[in-house]
Amino acid sequence: MIVEEIRGDAENFPVGMRVLAVDDDPTCLKLLETLLRKCHYNVTTTNQARVALKMIREKKDRFDLVISDVHMPDMDGFKLLELVGLEMDLPVIMLSANSDPKLVMKGVTHGACYYLVKPIRIEELRNIWQHVIRRKKADSKNQNRSSDQTKAHLASGEGHGSPLAGNTDHNGKFNRKRKDDDDETEDNDNEYEDNGTQKKPRVVWTIELHRKFVQAVNQLGIEKAVPKRILDMMNVEGLTRENVASHLQKYRLYLKRISTVATQQANMAAALGVKDSGFMHLGSLDGFGDFRTFSGARLGNVALSSYPGGMLGRLNSPGNVNICNLTPSTLVQPSLAQNLSNSINPLGKMNLVLPTSNQSPSLFQGIQPSLELDQLQHNKSTTNFNSINNSRIFRNGSTGVALGSSNNLLNSPMSNPLMLHGNTQQPLSGGRFGNQSGPFTSESFNNGVSDPTNENWPNRVDASKMHPNTLLSAEPFHSQLPLSGLRDNNSSNGTYLQNNPIDLSSGLALPPFEDSREMQCQQVGSMGDVQNMAQSWSEQRQGSGSVNQKMDMYTGGRSSGGASALVQQNEKLASESISRSNEDFLFEQPKLPSGFTPQGYDSLDELVNAMIKREQDETVANGEFAFDNYTFGEERKLCGDVAFLSSEADLVASL
Amino acid sequence: MERQAAYLRNALFDQGYLDEQFLQLEDLQDEANPHFVEEVVKLFYTDSVRLIQSIELTLKNTPWDFEKLDNIMHQFKGSSSSIGAKKVKKECSQFQEYCNVGNVEGCIREFQEVKQEHAALKRKLENYFQLAREAR
């Protein structure tokens, strides 16, 4: 062991740079020492890591640079590297006969300035002093400044090390690594701080939260409900008055929508009732174009078909859900099979659906886009979907009527032209449902339709008038919607569900609950959406099992994982009111990734709960339905609520 | 003598016993370190004996600890490469490969190769150094 304590010649740097060489292999150590000496460095050597550490600790600035072998008997080279890096800000160069990139990576990530592969060449050693310079600069900067500065420093540090590209990287990384230990937190904190100051964490209006909100509002009376009082009554930690205020605003809009849609829904329901089967065949689900071809009477069919495609398309819109998977055809098809003419294509294409009425197309388009956008963005589109679905349903159901009504619907705030179509088709979304008659859907449509945004969906819930089937069909929309975050999806999603992440397939016409909105298009989200949808469905169903079913399906569809869960839940819910047909529908339609089997939810609550749970499970917890205990009885309202929630984000935006 | 030494040295290179790393060693040899190369080589052979013994000991114990064998051989390889012992290094790598796949027979066989090359090079270098010393 040769120990030299000659101070480095600072003026002639790198001459006299003090290097500590650690290697248990005497041959290599000797070689290294000689090489370093040749470079005019001051070399200290040891073949034991512990000794090296001791020497370094003795005097912090005793050395400028440490070169250490990776394989050492007494201590792992990386460990030494870390310790040296942590305790003193010394640049460390790793040495090894192993040139495995993984090891090199490990060295670099552990903070090594550089990684040399044996046998060492003198040329490489001649440049190592650059690491020291770089590091010194980095260190000084770090000490003087905050983490931000450090960051900057890192950048500059890296800039310094130009000669050695690798070194630069290493050094930078090394510095970063070092800093990571010290500054990382700072950096993170800074980021957090920045985020904190720049934007507040978004409040997620879960079903639970929304329920509380609604309760508070009801207790206070809608007229007298002011944010402050609502906030107090809700008694939720972390919720601000502003949150409540904005939510209240949306809720009010939603209620308005519901009321307008309700009337239309009635019409639709009638119309939809008829259509049913025709509705289901969305043969041409590819939707968009097809939708347009809807012409009144068969609007449902056509619309649905086209719609579903459209919807699907929309649903797929990744806004929230990666609906990409949903292909209109896919979505549609299932529904077609079943009655799902609703396959209301992912809401996205809702516009298409409205071919029947001239207005519709335009409406749709107008709505759709908005819906889409909104929904996409919000995932919450479930509400939208619902509305869309509703419209669809309406359409389908009442072929002729629906068209007309759908038009109405279209005209109505609902941006779900699809919805209209859906109505005729009824099964549109619910196509899956199996036989949701128009009424259901139409109602749901109405509800949904009226609100382009999710809020419409809740209206759909009012589809109590609508046949369960309808609802179901509507639900698919919903489910889809939420899933895909596309609002559109909801409506058409009966089939869509499957594809849509939302898996609205369950066709739950659940009003696009917020949850569904939340479900947003992410794939995962879709599941959530499904759930949401399911929930919304269940709610909407107001006891209609179909909805539940849809929900189940819906949820199931969503993310395979969640979907299944959801599906089951949905199934439970669905079974309630929706006829089994829905279930069939559900089953047939979407192929939920998880392959959920709609079993019909026994109760909306279950569904909702399931959905909620599912959502939670899912990464995308979009589908947080605010209401988890909504019963169908209250569904209408709840649905509205849900729809409200879901539509909140999107619809409003779209509107 | 000098010619002979040179001849021998060249032969070592030509025959692949040594590689450019050896040249580096020679470069480091100067007035300050007149016998640097020889010193390093000596160091290598002393150390490598230790390693070989360690391997042999590990091979005696069954079941084989391949990881340990690999580690030892890794070090052996590092040392050999430092002095430019090309063939030895090659055999070490081969040994490591057999270790990785758990090829017992391959390992045993390869280890013999390593030892052979190791010994052969030692002989040759000793001759060379002898000649070089006499040539001075």
pLDDT tens digits for A532-564?
444 444 444 444 444 344 444 433 334 343 344
pLDDT at position A82 is 85
pLDDT in tens, A411-448: 444 434 433 343 434 333 333 333 433 343 344 334 43
pLDDT confidence of residue A271 = 63
What mean pLDDT comes out for the span A204-216? 82
Q: List all residues of chain A from 34 to 73 with a beta carbon under 8 Å from chain B.
A: 34-35, 38, 71
A164: its two tokens: 């050695």
Q: Which of residues 49-108 of B touch A (CB under 8 A)?
A: 71, 74-75, 77-79, 81-84
Residues of chain A with C-beta less than 8 angstroms from the C-beta of B28: 31, 34-35, 38, 122
**So what's the pLDDT on residue B102?**
84
All residues of chain B having their beta carbon less than 8 Å from the beta carbon of residue A96 are 78
Single out the residue of A527, A315, A528 nearest to residue A428, CA to CA.
A315
Report d(CA A179, CA A157) in Å as an integer.
Answer: 12
Vertex A284: Cα angle to A462 and A310 (nearest 5): 55
Look at the block and give the residue holding tokens 């090309």: B86
Give the pLDDT of chain B (136 residues) as one tens digit per residue: 678 888 888 888 888 888 888 888 888 888 877 888 888 888 899 988 989 999 888 888 878 888 888 888 888 998 898 888 889 989 999 998 888 888 888 888 999 999 999 999 999 988 888 888 887 7
A144 or B33, which is more confident?
A: B33
Find the CB nearest B21 among A30, A96, A119.
Answer: A119
Within 8 A by CB and 6+ apart from B11, the residues are none
Section A302-320 average pLDDT? 39
Predicted local confidence at residue A597, as pLDDT: 41
Higher pLDDT, A74 or A632: A74
The most confident of the ranges A293-297, A491-495, B96-100 is B96-100
Cβ pair B43:A118 closer than 8 A: no
Confidence of residue A456 (pLDDT cuts 50, 70, 90): very low
Most confident of A43-47, A305-309, A424-428, A500-504: A43-47
Given this model, what pLDDT does residue A138 score? 72
Q: Give yes or no for residue A111 having a pLDDT over 80.
A: yes
Sheet bearing A65-69, strands edge to edge: A42-46, A18-22, A65-69, A92-96, A114-117
- The per-residue DSSP string of A112-146 comes to -SEEEESSP-HHHHHTTHHHHHHHHHHHHHHHHS-
pLDDT at residue A44, as a whole number = 92
Query: Under an 8 A CB cutoff, do A26 and B33 touch?
Result: no
Q: Which helix (H) or strand (E) holds B110?
A: helix B104-135
Q: Determine the pLDDT at residue A108.
A: 86
Residue of chain A nearest B50, judged by CA positions: A25
CB contact under 8 A, B40 and A30: yes
In chain A, residues with a C-beta closer than 8 Å to the C-beta of B25 are 31
How far is C-alpha B135 from the geometric centre of its chain's CA atoms? 25
How high does pLDDT run on average in chain A? Answer: 55
Q: Does A96 touch chain B (CB under 8 A)?
A: yes
A151 closest CA partner among A174, A115, A183, A125: A183
State the pLDDT at residue A269.
Answer: 62
**With bands split at pLDDT 50, 70 and 90, how would you rate the model's confidence at A612?**
low
Greatest Cα pair distance, chain A, in angstroms, is 99
B79 vs A28: CB contact, 8 Å cut-off? yes
pTM of the model: 0.39
Cβ neighbours for A588, distance < 8 A, ≥ 6 positions apart: A334, A335, A337, A338, A340, A432, A434
Average of pLDDT values for A4-15? 54
Lowest mean pLDDT among A3-7, A120-124, A139-143, B61-65: A3-7
Q: What is the pLDDT of residue B119?
A: 92
CB neighbours of A62 closer than 8 A, spacing ≥ 6?
A5, A18, A55, A56
> Nearest C-alpha of chain B: how many angstroms from A57?
28
